[in-house]
Homo-oligomer: A and B are copies of this chain.
Amino acid sequence: MAYIQQLLKGLIDPIILSLINQLPMYGYQIKKESEQRTAGYLKMKGGTIYPSLTRLERNGLVASRWKRTGKRRGRRYYQITEKGRQALSSSLAEWHDLCTAINKLTGEAGSCADTSQ
């Protein structure tokens, strides 16, 4: 198992939540967006994204609906809920705290992400 996959544990849900928060998206779009925005660094697989979306919806953090554009195959669009926004905010706060702790332990560098989300 690649090391990056371990580091990503617990981060996929907030990442997806954050993307959806900026704009409602469907699964494949999330995959492409995250790849582009990180210059190919983050390549999430279908076996990662869809279970995550299912999880988020089961917990009430996102809501989905089918949408057909012309004769195209339907896509399932996901949008964040109010509960999701709160969860995202607290997730990012936790992430920030963790970064602070890591910096303290490994030798100080700079802050990581702000909590003003």
Binding site for B on A (CB under 8 A): 3-11, 14-15, 18-19, 22, 34, 37-38, 41-42, 91-92, 94-95, 97-107, 109-114, 117
Contact = CB atoms under 8 A, between A and B. Distances in A.
Contact of A15 (B91, B105, B113): B105
Contacts of A101: 38, 41-42
Q: Taking chain A's interface residues, is the majority helix, strand, or loop, or is none over half, making it mixed? A: helix
A7 B11 contact: yes
Contact of A14 (B34, B94, B106): B106
Q: Which of A91, A101, A104 has the most CB of B within 10 A?
A: A101
Contacts of A11: 7, 98, 102
